[in-house]
């Protein structure tokens, strides 16, 4: 089925990466869960009269390492590309997901900046389709200028098909 | 209290269009306040689309009385409860109830008097409200369908409900209570023809209308046309359907209790020495009652189901007490599902569900069916007519997927065995582990894995992509490429080990209600990539054929 593949970028090198800053943000957000898990482990150790410091400390170090590795991998895997017919996303460490969102199916495009993202000077783009899993298409970790640019280019592309009845 | 009757804005996107706003002017200012007569002939051949041509209707004259009785009953019961409990009884109750009813009636009367609905230009307009005025406009292109619901008893007097559905959200956008049958039918027909006309105009405006990949141009006006085909549900099929297709909760209960009883008889007959037999009998009776009640519900809900296929739409009517009627424009159908289970497969029968974007009225259970149950051939033929792309051969996922299921089920069996082995040690309950149990469980796990694998399937045609899954409740979903909204390929960490993937062509089905997407489960990863590319290529071809938008004033139209 080779011929179907023309015009599609599935090569990691051809696809756009997220901004590096997002790794720090993700690690930070992930470490919140690590701290909570450490507290649970520490509490359990205390309750069971086990050595508190080695268990809590060990759990914390281990979880932080896992978190850092996971977030780094997440960043490495995350790719997206705006092709001539569709937006293509590739992500996921545990479950890998590849989504194709054809321009003719885009309902609207938002840019979001939550407080965390603002703190790190980042933004995300949310692409809506009428699909039951439409809100799946979120591109995080973008520079605000890039997010704006992406939003307007996706809007322009989607506008080409605004007369079409796709639902 | 009843201002909410027109529903809330739950639609996607352009909710600004339908938002409420205070207009200040009552309906009195309109030129035709009396039950709209402006243009009823439904003929759309001339002079349409003028926004100034208002065509507003009123509700059924008896609406206020019925609405009062509906709320009045609740008020009365509430008061009765309060006062009977407080020993005030008769004396105080009657005047209070009378005042409450009178007050309700005055309010409802004003509400109904001030309520107007109709078509203004290419928008459905509803003005309502006694204290605060509310004016809502729903662009025609956002209207998914208009349903007439005939409440039991009331419908004998020609009193019906009209419901306007829009895409997105989980609830009816607008409910008109109550409307005479003729008015309801006329309005439904009017909306339908206006919608068709508007879409037709859009097509005419565009350059290569014929190549857009849509259904051919829709003939706008044929009021009394006869359906191209009518399929009726036979009584025998209805009986089979009612008995065997219980809702998921009920069937789980029935089967759970049955399996529990069997297990007790086989493994712990001693338990019947502790539990008195009448408890068992009562339990069985309770289960039979639940089953019977479920079957009765299904029977009355789908009694006398008629499916009519027209060139541009399908119409479904069903129900014994409350008649439900749905008209679905063909272009609003997202996907079609063929449903069967071991019993119906054995009998050569199958059911058909039509999935639309938005909420399906009368959907008490999550299984609204166009054809509850019929001969398999009939169901398949109907499916092929509604959703083109006839599937002749189903491809199976690779055999290694079956190994995956075998492993999965063996883990479950091992878990069960270890529980049975551990229980007598922890609790003082004697459990007799028959030596034949492990091999039996092994056999069951392997058989289950095989059955799961055997009933998985996928297929593509020039026009559509389909997937099938399930043994106890098997669903085969077909969707045409141009109804696919986006495509998601996912590979869990375990799937990656087996080089498998799940491909989901996502459609605009009802949110969270029923599965309307064909999920191609555990197919070969390479195949998944190819199929993903195929769907993308199909949509790409469709995009190329789509005309550039014409810059007309009605550019806001487009998405439904």
Rounded average pLDDT over B185-200: 81
Residue B364 pLDDT > 90: no
B445, B409 contact by CB (below 8 A): yes
Predicted local confidence at residue B81, as pLDDT: 63
Is-contact B467 B477, C-beta < 8 A?
A: yes
| Contact call for residues B373 and B241 (beta carbons, < 8 A) | yes
At residue B36 the predicted structure's pLDDT band, cuts being 50, 70 and 90, is: very low
Helices (H), B155-276: 181-205, 235-244, 248-267, 271-274
Instruction: Say which residues have a Cβ less than 8 Å from residue A110's Cβ, sequence separation at least 6.
Output: A125, A126, A128, A151
Terminal CA-CA length for chain B: 31
User: Which residue, chain included where needed, has tokens 């009385």?
Assistant: B65
pLDDT score for B51: 44
Distance from CA of B533 to the nearest CA of A (A): 6
Q: Which two tokens stand for residue B493?
A: 């960490």
B57 and B118 in contact (C-beta within 8 Å)? yes
In chain B, the percentage of residues whose pLDDT exceeds 70 is 71
- Contact call for residues B507 and B420 (beta carbons, < 8 A): no
pLDDT in tens, B260-299: 777 777 766 666 677 676 777 777 787 888 888 888 888 9
Q: How many inter-chain contacts (A to B, CB under 8 Å) are there?
A: 148
Q: Quick one: closest CA in A to B530, which residue?
A: A1
The kind and range of the H/E element at B118 are: strand B116-120
Q: Which of A100, A128, A165 sits opposite B532 (nearest CB)?
A: A100
Inter-chain residue contact B486 with A8, CB threshold 8 Å: no
Percent pLDDT > 70 in chain A is 86
Which DSSP state fits B223? T
Partner residue opposite A8 with nearest CB, options B334, B504, B536:
B536
Q: What is the pLDDT of residues B103-112, one digit of tens each?
A: 888 888 999 9
CA distances from A69 to A26, A65, A140, B493 (A): 11, 6, 19, 16
pLDDT score for A56: 86
What pLDDT does residue B554 have?
Answer: 43
Provide the pLDDT for residue B496.
94
pLDDT tens, position by position, A72-88: 999 999 999 999 899 99
pLDDT over 80 at B414, yes or no: yes
Cβ of B198: how many Cβ atoms within 10 Å? 21
**Cα B526 to Cα B275: distance, rounded to the nearest angstrom:** 57
Q: B101 pLDDT exceeds 60? A: yes
- Give the mutation candidate from A90, A107, A137, A163 for the B interface (greatest B CB count, under 10 A): A163
Which pLDDT score, from 0 to 100, does residue B493 have?
Answer: 93
For B508, the closest chain A residue by CA position comes to A131
A38: distance to nearest CA of chain B, Å?
A: 26
**How high is the pLDDT of residue A10?**
61
- What percent of chain B is predicted at pLDDT more than 90? 27
Chain B hits for A109, CB-CB cut-off 8 Å, are none
Of B35-49, B261-275, B409-423, B474-488, minimum mean pLDDT range: B35-49
**What's the token pair of residue A142?**
């973008």
Mean pLDDT score across all residues of chain B? 76
Closest-CA distance, B364 to chain A, in angstroms, reads 20
Is the CB of B516 less than 8 angstroms away from the CB of A102?
no
Q: What is the pLDDT of residues A15-27, one digit of tens each?
A: 999 999 999 999 9
Instruction: Please give the Cα distance from B20 to B543 (Å, whole number).
Output: 36
Q: How far is CA B390 from CA B188, B228, B381, B393, B466, in A?
A: 32, 19, 9, 9, 10
pLDDT tens digit sequence for B433-474: 778 888 999 999 999 999 999 999 999 999 999 999 999 889
Sheet holding B349-356, edge to edge: B371-375, B349-356, B333-340, B474-480, B464-469, B457-460
State yes or no: pLDDT of B354 exceeds 70. Answer: yes
Selected residue with higher pLDDT from B70 and B7: B70
- Average the pLDDT over each of B214-218, B228-232, B354-358 and give the range with the smallest value: B214-218
* Mean local confidence (pLDDT), B75-100: 65
**Which residue of A80, A96, A164 is the best one to mutate when testing the B interface, meaning the one whose CB has the most B CBs within 10 A?**
A164
Give the gap in angstroms from C-alpha A107 to the nearest C-alpha of chain B.
Answer: 7
Query: Which of B382, B372, B378 has the alpha carbon at shortest distance from B305?
Result: B372
Calculate mean pLDDT across residues B387-411. Answer: 91
What CA dihedral angle connects A101, A107, A109 and A114, to 10 degrees?
-100
Q: How many residues does chain B have?
A: 560
Can you tell me the distance from the alpha carbon of A42 to that of B407, in angstroms, rounded to the nearest whole number? 36
Asked whether the beta carbons of residue A167 and residue B540 sit closer than 8 angstroms, the reply is no
Contact criterion met (CB below 8 Å) for B164 and B143: yes
Quickly count: other Cβ atoms within 10 Å of residue B138's Cβ.
Answer: 20
Residues in A whose CB is inside 8 Å of some CB of B read 1, 4-5, 7-8, 10, 85-86, 92, 94-105, 107-108, 128-134, 136-137, 159-167
Please give the residue that has the higher pLDDT: either A65 or B19. Answer: A65
Residue B30, pLDDT > 50, answer: no
Name the minimum distance, in Å, from the CA of B519 to any CA of chain A.
13
Which residues have CB under 8 Å from A164's CB, separation 6+? A104, B212, B546, B558
Contacts of B560 in chain A (CB under 8 A): 165, 167
A108 Cα to chain B: minimum distance (Å): 8
Interface test with chain B among A82, A132, A162, by most B beta carbons within 10 Å: A132
With a cut of 50, say whether residue B145 has pLDDT above it. Answer: yes
pLDDT for the residue numbered B20: 37
Cα–Cα distance for residue pair A141/A150, rounded to 1 Å: 12
Residues of chain A found within 8 Å of residue B540, distances taken between Cβ atoms: 7, 85-86, 102
Mean pLDDT, range A15-44, rounded to an integer? 92
Which chain A residue has the Cα nearest residue B356? A167
Average pLDDT over every residue of B378-396:
89
């Amino acid at each position: 089925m080779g011929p179907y593949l023309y015009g599609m970028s599935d090569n990691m090198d051809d696809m756009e990466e997220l901004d590096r800053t997002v790794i720090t943000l993700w690690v930070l957000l992930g470490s919140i869960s690590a701290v909570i898990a450490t507290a649970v482990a520490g509490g359990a150790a205390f309750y069971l009269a086990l050595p508190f410091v080695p268990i809590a400390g060990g759990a914390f170090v281990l979880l932080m390492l896992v978190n850092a590795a996971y977030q780094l991998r997440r960043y490495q895997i995350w790719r997206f590309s705006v092709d001539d017919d569709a937006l293509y996303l590739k992500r996921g460490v545990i479950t890998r997901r590849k989504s194709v969102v054809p321009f003719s199916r885009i309902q609207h495009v938002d840019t979001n900046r939550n407080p965390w993202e603002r703190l790190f000077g980042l933004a995300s783009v949310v692409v809506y389709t009428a699909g039951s899993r439409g809100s799946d298409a979120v591109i995080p970790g973008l520079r605000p200028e890039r997010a704006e640019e992406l939003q307007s280019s996706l809007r322009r592309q989607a506008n080409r098909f605004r007369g079409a009845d796709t639902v | 209290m009843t201002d909410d009757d027109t529903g809330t804005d739950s639609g996607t996107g352009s909710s600004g269009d339908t938002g409420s706003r205070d207009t200040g002017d009552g309906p009195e200012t309109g030129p035709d306040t009396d039950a709209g007569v402006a243009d009823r002939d439904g003929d759309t051949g001339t002079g349409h689309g003028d926004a100034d041509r208002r065509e507003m209707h009123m509700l059924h004259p008896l609406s206020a009385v019925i609405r009062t009785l509906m709320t009045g009953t609740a008020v009365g019961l509430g008061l009765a409860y309060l006062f009977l409990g407080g020993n005030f009884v008769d004396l105080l109750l009657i005047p209070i109830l009378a005042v409450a009813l009178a007050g309700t009636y005055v309010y409802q009367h004003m509400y109904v008097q001030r309520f107007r609905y109709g078509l203004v230009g290419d928008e459905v307009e509803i003005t309502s409200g006694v204290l605060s005025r509310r004016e809502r406009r729903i662009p025609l292109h956002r209207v998914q369908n208009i349903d007439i619901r005939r409440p039991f008893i009331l419908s004998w007097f020609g009193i019906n409900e009209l419901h306007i559905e829009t895409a997105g959200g989980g609830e009816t956008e607008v409910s008109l209570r109550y409307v005479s049958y003729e008015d309801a039918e006329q309005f439904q027909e009017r909306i339908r023809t206006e919608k068709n006309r508007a879409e037709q105009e859009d097509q005419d405006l565009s350059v290569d209308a014929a190549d857009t990949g849509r259904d051919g141009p829709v003939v706008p006006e044929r009021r009394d046309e006869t359906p191209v085909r009518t399929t009726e549900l036979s009584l025998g099929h209805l009986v089979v359907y009612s008995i065997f297709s219980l809702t998921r909760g009920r069937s789980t209960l029935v089967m759970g209790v049955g399996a529990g009883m069997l297990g007790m008889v086989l493994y712990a007959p001693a338990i019947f020495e502790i539990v008195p037999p009448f408890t068992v009998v009562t339990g069985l009776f309770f289960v039979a009652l639940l089953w019977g009640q479920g079957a009765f519900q299904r029977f009355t809900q789908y009694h006398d189901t008629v499916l009519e296929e027209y060139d541009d739409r399908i119409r479904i009517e069903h129900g014994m007490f409350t008649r439900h009627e749905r008209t679905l424009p063909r272009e609003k159908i997202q996907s079609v599902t063929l449903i069967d289970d071991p019993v119906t497969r054995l009998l050569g029968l199958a059911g058909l569900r039509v999935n639309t974007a938005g909420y399906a009225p009368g959907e008490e259970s999550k299984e609204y069916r166009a054809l509850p149950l019929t001969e398999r051939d009939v169901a398949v033929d109907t499916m092929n007519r509604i959703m083109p792309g006839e599937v002749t051969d189903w491809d199976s996922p690779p055999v290694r997927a079956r190994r995956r299921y075998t492993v999965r089920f063996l883990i479950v069996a091992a878990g069960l065995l270890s529980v049975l082995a551990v229980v007598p040690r922890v609790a003082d309950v004697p459990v007799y582990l028959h030596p034949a149990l492990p091999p039996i469980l092994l056999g069951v796990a392997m058989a289950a894995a095989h059955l799961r694998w055997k009933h998985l399937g996928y297929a593509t045609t020039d026009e559509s992509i389909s997937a099938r899954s399930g043994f106890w409740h098997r669903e085969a979903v077909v969707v045409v490429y141009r109804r696919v909204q986006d495509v998601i390929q996912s590979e869990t960490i375990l799937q990656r080990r087996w080089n498998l993937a799940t491909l989901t062509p996502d459609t605009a089905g009802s949110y969270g209600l029923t599965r309307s997407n064909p999920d191609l489960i555990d197919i070969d990863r390479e195949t998944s990539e190819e199929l993903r590319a195929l769907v993308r290529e199909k949509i790409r071809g469709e995009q190329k054929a789509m005309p550039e938008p014409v810059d007309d004033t009605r550019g806001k139209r487009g998405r439904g």
